Structure 1
Amino acid sequence: MRSTPARRIVGIALATAAGVVALAGPAFAHVTVQPGNAQQGAYTAVDFRVPNESDTASTVKLEVNLPLDHPLASVRTLPLPGWTATLEKSKLDKPIKVHGNDVNEAVSKITWTADPGTKIAAGQFQEFRVSIGPLPTDTDKLTFKALQSYDNGEVVRWIDEAKEGQPEPAKPAPVLTLTKAAATDAAADGHHVEATTSQDAAAHATVKSSDSTARILGVVGIVVGVIGAGVGFLGLRRKGDSAAS
């Protein structure tokens, strides 16, 4: 009979641990831009990370709208096997200066469409890499509204913008935070930046791997701690029962 409270404690500990793991999951479910920050005025490469949220359908298209209020003169997609990328351009209301030249139009939309037999299936995610720049210097963020299409006809609209002081919206748009360049930094040249893309990609991959590992270890640590607390309490209770006997 004395084992009943002990089982109850262990059961509560396991339920709590499961809840922690469940809460950790939604952070990975949004369509996001990775890494989430870059330097103003620079050229950079980012990934649009797209998880498949459906258990019954697969993702077959991604549409990303680029902001025309802060247009990007250079937009290039990295070839991705099984996917076809299409870039749409729009005329700018006001030309922008890039390296002393007037730019009258900019890419306003990128669409990745899965080739036959290709998809993001349940439990999977895909990353769509883009080189962009120069990043604007008169704003601290760029918002990329995205549409995720499934093979059952469903379209998820990741277009809601977060507002300060309010909870995160259910379908937030991917956001790239822009930080000011250091005073000692020289103005980056587009060709020079693109020449270092391979090194940047390797560093980016390392950062992503470290970040994912840290998240997983953090969740595991919480789970182990909760279970350990339950087992420790059980041990103390047994010692108390032995002393009473």
Structure 2
Amino acid sequence: MGIAGPARPARVALAAVAGVATVVLAAPALAHVQVNADKPQAGARDVTLTFTGEAESNRAGINSERVVLPPAITPEQVRLAKAPFGWRLSHNPDGFTVAGPALRVGQDAVFAVTVAQLPSDATELPFKTLETYGDGRVDRWIEIPEAGKPAPANPAPVLKLKPATPVPTSASPTPTSAAAAPSSAAPNAIHRPTGSDNATVTNLLWILLIAVAVAAAAIGASVLRRRRR
């Protein structure tokens, strides 16, 4: 009897723990939508965003994911990269929808889109998502988490971004060789005669001497003719 006394409270405690565990395991898991990027950097181009919508219903499969884009991204910038078999992308005024035949119960909806360019001045991008099941159930993951506040019950997927790569500034133009070096045709440049210049002067002198000799001979002949007369 000395052992039976304390064993009764122990059995009660174990039964209570088992009951709590049963309640926790029976409660539906908190589902949400996640988003990841292959290039999570502000200003990046041709970025692939992969969304994972966790299945929460135990009665129907997911058949639609409607995503509301941040204001800096337009629907025309988005194209489908990957989706479950038979799913297609359609553009909405504020985003896009990827939908098709309902997935099997419990299967997550995984799809990817390519965005032409992310905004260059953003640090994070929220993607509000409406997840629809084949039986008409809609889970609205549209609440934006805020720093310093408790996590919302239905958080929207948020993509964190690295800062944009700084754009290098163009260096000031350096003076060209033509501008830096003095011009050979400057007015105060000294011209030094070359060999061709000397030959030209010599030829001119010979021509001048021959012309003088011819003129002198003509004059002399004229004087002789006058004397003879």
- For the aligned pair, the TM-score class normalised by the smaller chain equals 0.5 to 0.7
Contact 2:87–2:98 (CA<8 Å) still a contact in 1?
A: yes
Whether 1:160 and 2:163 are equivalent positions in the alignment is: no
- Structure 1's 109 and 83: CA in aligned 2 closer, same or farther, altered over 3 A? farther
- Structure 1's 21 and 151: CA in aligned 2 closer, same or farther, altered over 3 A? closer
Structure 1 CA distance for aligned equivalents of residues 33 and 28 of structure 2:
16
Which fold has the larger relative contact order, with Cα–Cα distance below 8 Å and residues 6 or more apart in sequence?
A: 1
Structure 2 CA distance for aligned equivalents of residues 80 and 45 of structure 1:
13
Whether 1:54 and 2:57 are equivalent positions in the alignment is: yes
1:60 shift after superposition: 1.2
Tell which structure's C-alpha radius of gyration is larger.
2
Q: Which runs of 5+ in 2 are unaligned?
A: 169-229
Q: RMSD in angstroms over aligned alpha carbons?
A: 3.5
Identity of matched residues, %:
32
- Given candidates 25, 32, 35, the residue that maps to 1:33 is 35
Q: What SS is found at the alignment partner of 2:72?
A: coil
Whether 1:111 and 2:94 are equivalent positions in the alignment is: no
Contact 1:72–1:132 (CA<8 Å) still a contact in 2?
A: no
- Structure 1's 153 and 16: CA in aligned 2 closer, same or farther, altered over 3 A? closer
Whether 1:7 and 2:11 are equivalent positions in the alignment is: yes
Match of 1:143 in 2: 126
More moved, 3-12 vs 39-48: 3-12
Match of 1:122 in 2: 105
Match of 2:152 in 1: 169
- Structure 1's 78 and 37: CA in aligned 2 closer, same or farther, altered over 3 A? closer
Q: What SS is found at the alignment partner of 1:153?
A: coil
1:63-108 alpha-carbon deviations (Å, 9 max, x no partner): 1122233448743322434233224276xxxxxxxxxxxxxxxxx5
Q: What SS is found at the alignment partner of 2:8?
A: helix
1:115-174 alpha-carbon deviations (Å, 9 max, x no partner): xxx323332212111222422221111111212122222333222222333222222222
Q: What SS is found at the alignment partner of 1:38?
A: coil
Contact 2:80–2:89 (CA<8 Å) still a contact in 1?
A: no
1:61 shift after superposition: 1.1
Whether 1:66 and 2:78 are equivalent positions in the alignment is: no
Structure 2 CA distance for aligned equivalents of residues 22 and 55 of structure 1:
12
Match of 2:215 in 1: none
Structure 2 CA distance for aligned equivalents of residues 89 and 11 of structure 1:
53
Structure 1 CA distance for aligned equivalents of residues 88 and 9 of structure 2:
60
Q: What SS is found at the alignment partner of 1:3?
A: helix
1:24 shift after superposition: 11
Q: What SS is found at the alignment partner of 1:7?
A: helix
The size of the alignment, in residue pairs, is 163
Q: Which runs of 5+ in 1 are unaligned?
A: 91-107, 187-245
Contact 1:141–1:175 (CA<8 Å) still a contact in 2?
A: yes
1:17 shift after superposition: 6.1
- Structure 1's 169 and 88: CA in aligned 2 closer, same or farther, altered over 3 A? same
